[in-house]
Amino acid sequence: MDKIVIEGGKPLQGEISISGAKNAALPLITATLLTQGKHIIHNVPDLRDTRTMLALLETFGVHWERDGATLTINTENIAGFEASYDLVKTMRASVLVLGPLLSRMGRARVSMPGGCAIGARPIDYHLQGFKKMGVELDLDEGYVDAQVADGLNGCTVYFDIPSVTGTENVMMAAVKAKGTTVIKNAAREPEVGNLVDMLLAMGADIEGRDTDKLVIKGVKKLKPAEITTIPDRIETGTYLIAVGAAGGKVKLKNCNPSHLPSLLEKLREAGLSITETDDTLEVSRTGSLRSIDFKTLPYPGFPTDLQAQTMALMSMANGLSVIAETIFENRFMHVAELKRMGAKIRVDGHSAIVHGNGGLTGARVMATDLRASASLVVAGLAASGVTEISRIYHLERGYEDLVRKLDKLGARIKKIKEEK
Ligand code: EPU
């Protein structure tokens, strides 16, 4: 297994380009299943998760090829409809094949995702939506077996909490259903908007993009689409926070600052200087860091996927920071690892109280999930001494070229083979 070694304390300088968003690319890839033909998706990051999703589609008989960041996906013939436990256990987003397969084949069998490092993460909203559309659901040997005899019917669904993949799954099932589907309290994340754009390009009839009410009128036929994946707002945020931690001045290109409203304000409050254009961000920190409080919320609130990285930053600030995690019940796995680096953090239920003490020290730490791993990289870049992060396969699920990009910014970082 590989590990990342960082010699901290070196400010970051220079410019890098942001990759396409993992959480946008995954539903765009599964949406190609909706109709026959050759679909083209640009700006797709080459990550463990996008590779896993393509491997899953291959098991259904889909062919694809990659040319740089552009994927051509040929969904002319589809044979299978089962997503096995082996694939779903490595990537929960595999459940995003349910909606498209039900729409195209009337049948899908997908391993039920178990709990994961950040919480129980049920898919009951997805299933309730399908059931209302006329799908018969069976839970058999750990698999959701879903079938619909006479095609899907439009319905109204309401989510208690706006669910990103739940909105995406039900919307994909609805685009060719009979009648109209209304999703109330829908997720408004930019990744959902990217999927709406792809479905519109395929000929779908959807109103309410970027709002909490999506109205989808079923159409008879769809056509293949060409679409560009939006820039990864979580990768963008992670590099902004890294500069906050290590200091220096960095320009991020090919990003979309309008997708990070809450983070930009919070980082400015913490003392970072940030200037933006439509597709670039320039960030620097010369003075000391101020403590800030924040609460994770559905978009446009503070993203849960940046909570761990921002907590690492707060552990180096001067003062007290109160962080509330309201999306996932177990998303504080990074706390124990950050403490090994000298952070002073106390967890109380859904909140963490961080006593910023101005600096961290390098240590051997272990990545527990994707964003927790990113928080350890942020901490390692700023810490005095050497930080060794093991289990970095988590990072490879979601950050394209992380080591190369940070190396380009002057960080002393390398990936090495871990001794057995
Ligand atoms: N929820 C339910 N029932 C459901 C679905 C969701 O109770 O059927 C609850 C969840 O337990 C959670 C809340 O609703 O409390 C929101 O979860 P959501 O469904 O929005 O999460 P998700 O769709 O499974 C996506 C991202 C996550 C990101 C969350 C929140 C993808 C592939 N994943 O997950 O990304 O944290 O939205 O923004 O889009 C990551 O990239 O590291 C990651 C975990």
DSSP summary character for residue 65: E
Whether 364 and 217 map to the same domain: the answer is: no
Q: How confident is the model at residue 191 (pLDDT cuts 50, 70, 90)?
A: very high
- Listing from the earlier edge strand, what are the strands of the sheet with 294-295? 294-295, 318-324, 351-357, 345-348
Indicate which residue's Cα is closest to atom 20 of ligand 1: 163
CA distance 248 to 270: 15
Q: CA angle at residue 140 from 118 to 89, to 5 degrees? A: 30
Residues 368, 369, 370, 372: is their CA dihedral positive or negative? Answer: negative
In tens, the pLDDT along 274-323 reads 999 999 999 999 889 999 999 999 999 999 999 999 999 999 999 999 99
Indicate which residue's Cα is closest to atom 33 of ligand 1: 23
In tens, the pLDDT along 387-409 reads 999 999 899 999 999 999 999 99
> What average pLDDT score do residues 128-137 get?
97
Whether 148 and 260 map to the same domain: the answer is: no
Cα 164 to ligand 1 centre (Å): 6
Is residue 394 lining ligand 1, measured as CB closer than 6 Å? no
In tens, the pLDDT along 23-69 reads 999 999 999 999 999 999 999 999 999 999 999 999 999 999 999 99
Q: For residue 127, give the ligand 1 atom closest to its CA.
A: 8
Candidate of 94, 161, 395 to mutate for ligand 1, largest count of ligand atoms within 8 Å of Cβ: 161
Dihedral of CA atoms 336, 341, 345, 347 in degrees, nearest 10, equals -10
Name the pTM for this structure.
0.97
- pLDDT of amino acid 363: 97
Whether 14 and 27 map to the same domain: the answer is: no
User: Which one is predicted more confidently, 228 or 141?
Assistant: 228
What b/e readout covers 291-320, taking b as 16+ CB neighbours within 10 angstroms? bbebbbebbeebbbbbbbbbbbbbbbbeee
Whether 15 and 31 map to the same domain: the answer is: no
Whether 299 and 239 map to the same domain: the answer is: yes
Whether 79 and 189 map to the same domain: the answer is: yes
- pLDDT of amino acid 114: 67
User: Which one is predicted more confidently, 332 or 118?
Assistant: 332
Cα 191 to ligand 1 centre (Å): 12
CA proximity to 172, closest of 234, 118, 222, 136: 222
Is residue 109 lining ligand 1, measured as CB closer than 6 Å? no
Q: How confident is the model at residue 420 (pLDDT cuts 50, 70, 90)?
A: low
Indicate which residue's Cα is closest to atom 17 of ligand 1: 163
Whether the Cβ atoms of residue 47 and residue 398 lie closer than 8 Å to each other = yes
- pLDDT of amino acid 121: 81
- pLDDT of amino acid 358: 77
- pLDDT of amino acid 417: 86
**Residues classed as catalytic:** 116
Note down the domain range covering 399. 2-19+231-417
Candidate of 121, 169, 305 to mutate for ligand 1, largest count of ligand atoms within 8 Å of Cβ: 121
Is residue 15 lining ligand 1, measured as CB closer than 6 Å? no
Q: Which helix (H) or strand (E) holds 64?
A: strand 63-67
Cα 284 to ligand 1 centre (Å): 31
Q: How confident is the model at residue 115 (pLDDT cuts 50, 70, 90)?
A: low
Is residue 403 lining ligand 1, measured as CB closer than 6 Å? no
In tens, the pLDDT along 316-336 reads 999 999 999 999 988 999 999
> What average pLDDT score do residues 229-244 get?
98
- pLDDT of amino acid 285: 93
DSSP summary character for residue 334: H
Percent of the chain with pLDDT over 70: 99
Whether the Cβ atoms of residue 27 and residue 163 lie closer than 8 Å to each other = no
Whether the Cβ atoms of residue 351 and residue 345 lie closer than 8 Å to each other = no
CA distance 392 to 413: 13
How many domains in the chain? 2
In tens, the pLDDT along 149-183 reads 999 999 999 999 999 999 999 999 999 999 999 99
Whether 117 and 183 map to the same domain: the answer is: yes
Whether the Cβ atoms of residue 289 and residue 331 lie closer than 8 Å to each other = no
> What average pLDDT score do residues 97-125 get?
88
- Give the tokens for residue 364: 């051997």
Cα 165 to ligand 1 centre (Å): 7
Whether 69 and 182 map to the same domain: the answer is: yes
Q: DSSP of 71-125, one letter per residue?
A: EEEE-S-----EE-HHHHTT-GGGGGGHHHHHHHHSEEEEEPP--BTTB----HH
Is residue 332 lining ligand 1, measured as CB closer than 6 Å? no
Q: Which residues contact 349 (CB under 8 A, 6 or more apart)?
A: none
Is residue 328 lining ligand 1, measured as CB closer than 6 Å? yes
CA distance 127 to 141: 17
Cα 254 to ligand 1 centre (Å): 25
Q: DSSP of 215-255, one letter per residue?
A: EEE--S-----EEEPPB-HHHHHHHHHHHHHH-EEEEEES-
- 207, 224, 241 - which closes a domain: 224
Indicate which residue's Cα is closest to atom 8 of ligand 1: 123
Q: For residue 119, give the ligand 1 atom closest to its CA.
A: 11
Q: DSSP of 270-331, one letter per residue?
A: TT-EEEE-SSEEEEEE-SPPBP--EEB-STTSB-GGGHHHHHHHHTTSEEEEEEE--S-TT-
- 224, 256, 277 - which closes a domain: 224
> What average pLDDT score do residues 257-282 get?
98
CATH of the domain at 342: 3.65.10.10
- Listing from the earlier edge strand, what are the strands of the sheet with 107-111? 82-83, 107-111, 143-147, 136-140
Measured in Å, how far apart are the chain's first and last C-alpha atoms?
A: 8
Whether 242 and 332 map to the same domain: the answer is: yes
Is residue 23 lining ligand 1, measured as CB closer than 6 Å? yes
Cα 124 to ligand 1 centre (Å): 12
Q: For residue 118, give the ligand 1 atom closest to its CA.
A: 44
Whether 150 and 240 map to the same domain: the answer is: no
Mean pLDDT across the chain, nearest whole number?
95
Whether the Cβ atoms of residue 64 and residue 51 lie closer than 8 Å to each other = no
Whether 218 and 236 map to the same domain: the answer is: no
- pLDDT of amino acid 119: 74
Cα 362 to ligand 1 centre (Å): 32
Longest dimension (CA), the chain: 65
Whether 143 and 213 map to the same domain: the answer is: yes
Q: For residue 298, give the ligand 1 atom closest to its CA.
A: 38
Q: Which residue type sits at 153?
A: N
- 200, 224, 248 - which closes a domain: 224
